[in-house]
Homo-oligomer: A and B are copies of this chain.
């Protein structure tokens, strides 16, 4: 394992509870990428209960960008299905607080901001399938360069529900052919982390005119012997939320995910059967 990418990640094999303890103590750093391999990490959206039904329905109708892994009761900052000790107000590295669509604060602790009508949605995140790819020795350039993944708005519309509407947003990772095949195989087995890619090789078909100019994140070179592979992305609900301008909302800050206790189903078999040569 010394030569693999995972060996460079100090919390790759940490437990989710350990990562959450680090977050709570302000010791995790701002980004949970590469932590707690084998578990579902989640985008977080907290909304007033008056908007919760519509947002819930939006997630159910758009499961590729918004794979719902948990939803709290109104006012409840516990979500035991995702972690017995979990406190949704403190266990992410960094939060963003929004009023009328504008970010008004970025903080590592939202206990002061908590409201008794908030409903929390946890939506699966690509960090989980990236960890699985890393465990299977499929390298990703943006991670090797320490950059953000490039993210693009597409010409694919989400199924709108109430105030929530907008384009599907995708992330892109370039791969050599054999790694692209592995990436399809592996991500297909993790539907709670966006599942299979939605496009390989033809960015213009989903409305991406310039692959070197992502709408979010950092540009990543696609070499001549690589295929660009696109996955539905958790930025989708963030963009939809911002466009709907709710009077109040709290989200994770970019890359500062909730690390849950929910295991990737069949993770050990998945890794064992997708490492090594494809022929």
A residues near B (Cβ < 8 Å) are 64, 156, 168, 177-178, 180-181, 184-185, 188, 196-202, 205, 225, 227, 232, 278-279
Q: How far is the CB of A59 from chain B (nearest CB, A)?
A: 14
Question: B181 and A205: CB pair below 8 A?
Answer: no
Residue of B nearest to A224 (CB): B202
Chain A interface main SS type: mixed
**Contact present for B168 and A279 (CB under 8 Å):** yes
- Min Cβ gap A165→B in Å is 16
Copies of this protein in the complex:
2
B278 lies within 8 A of A198 (CB): yes
Q: Identify which of B185, B197, B225 contacts A196 (C-beta below 8 A).
A: B185
**Contact at A202–B185, with CB atoms within 8 Å?**
no
Q: A181 CA to B227 CA in the complex, in Å?
A: 13
Give the top 4 A-B pairs by smallest Cβ distance, nearest first: A184-B184, A198-B279, A64-B279, A177-B200
- The reply to whether A227 and B201 form a contact with Cβ atoms under 8 Å apart is yes
- For this complex, 9 residue pairs linking A to B, each with C-beta atoms less than 8 Å apart, are A64-B278, A168-B279, A177-B199, A177-B200, A180-B200, A181-B197, A181-B198, A185-B185, A202-B225
Closest B residue to A156 using CB positions: B279
A184-B184, A185-B188 are contacts. A278–B196 as well, Cβ < 8 Å? yes
Look across to chain B and name the residue whose beta carbon is closest to the beta carbon of A230.
B177
The chain B residue with its CB closest to the CB of A184 is B184
| Chain B hits for A278, CB < 8 A | 64, 196, 198
Kindly provide the distance from the CB of A63 to the nearest chain B CB, expressed in whole angstroms: 9
- Alpha-carbon distance A227/B199, docked complex (angstroms): 11
Choose one: B177, B185, B198; the contact of A178 (CB below 8 Å).
B198
